[in-house]
Structures are given as C-alpha cells and as structure tokens.
Amino acid sequence: MNGQKANTDELLAQSFKTLCKKRPIEKITIKEITDRAGVIRPTFYNHFQDKYELLEWIIMREVLMPTKPLIQAQMVDEAILLIFTALEREKEFYIKASRLEGQNSFERIARSCVCKVLLELMKDHDVFLMPKNSWITPEHIAEYYAQSLCYVVMTWLKGNMPLEPKEMVEVYNYIIRRSMQEVLAGS
C-alpha cells in the first residue's frame, strides 16, 4: 500500500508540474491535475489537502530531503549545491512556481519547508546549546537561515537563473558568512 501511495503521489506531482509549465498555478484545478494523472478526483484528496500541499510535497521530496544526509555529514556547501542543482534540473517548473504569490506563495511554502528540515536536523542531533540570549531559539535560528536561503533562491529564480548552481553556492556563502559590519566595510 505504501508503494502505491508513493506512486500516486509521484503521478500527481508529475501532472501538476506539467500543468504548471503551461499555466499559472492559481488557475490549475484539482480536476485538471487528476485528469492528467489518470486518477479520479477523490484520489487527490486522499493524498493532499490542496495543490499547495502538493507543491510543498514536491519541494520537500525533490529539493530538500536529498540534502539531509549531506547536512548530517556536515557537508553544507554540497547540500546547498544540491538544492540549486535540483531547482535547475526542473528550471521551467520552479521559475513559474516562483511567481506564485499571496497567502500560498511559493516563497512562503519553500521557507516553511526549509525551516521544518532545519528544525528536524537540530532536534535529531541535539546540537542546540543554551544561548546567552533567550531570544535565540532553534525556531528563530531555523527561520533566519530559511529566510536567507529562500531570499537567494527566489532572487535567482526570478532572474531566470543566470548563474550556475556552483556560483550560487559562492553567492550564498559570501552573504551568510559575513557580518553586516564586514559587508559595509567591504571585507
């Protein structure tokens, strides 16, 4: 049964991605997704609440989950490279998805996914030590890194991805590894 669910999830995701290449996400209906996938409409709701949850599943499965073993092995640059490479592999879909705005914006969904993965990794490894400031929580740290990574990703996607994934890792590292003071001082 689990394999069948995974196959159906994958079928629905492929259908959704194909439709996204032709039309804005906001205009795609569940019926169109299920018709293209060759399943009945109630099947969709057995797997996903709505098309935005399906988009979240795609981001988690195709972009973020493959990075977990790398992050766990402290290969963060390689994990970030894998994110940009996955996005580039499905370039047309992700560029169009990045245009989704509003309450269910692509950026909001992606940031939430990144935050979940980071919190899960922190929890699994119990890496969080008692900070000097009570405001510095795992949730705030995960949100900060999720926001910074999503900002770089969204800017890249909305600019039609002119740089290669390896160059984007360099961009991200330049930004994230410097304090505001260092950036302002030109360091």
- CATH class of the structural domain 51-185: mainly alpha
Domain spans in the chain, listed from the N-terminal domain onward: 1-48, 51-185
Report residue 63's pLDDT band, with 50, 70 and 90 as the boundaries.
Answer: very high
Determine which of 25-34, 136-145, 149-158 has the lowest per-residue pLDDT on average. Answer: 136-145
Look at the domain 1-48 and name its fold. Answer: Arc Repressor Mutant, subunit A (1.10.10)
Using alpha carbons only, what angle is made at residue 74 by residues 70 and 77, rounded to the nearest 5 degrees?
A: 70
Write the DSSP assignment of 15-57 as a string of letters. Answer: HHHHHHHHS-GGG--HHHHHHHHTS-HHHHHHH-SSHHHHHHH
Q: In the predicted model, what is the mean pLDDT of the chain? A: 92
Q: What is the pTM of this model?
A: 0.90
Cβ–Cβ under 8 Å, residues 56 and 109: yes
Residue 187: pLDDT band by 50, 70, 90 thresholds?
A: confident
pLDDT at 122: 84
Model confidence pLDDT, tens digit, residues 90-110 = 999 999 999 999 999 999 999
Three-class SS state of 103: coil
pLDDT at residue 124 greater than cutoff 80: no
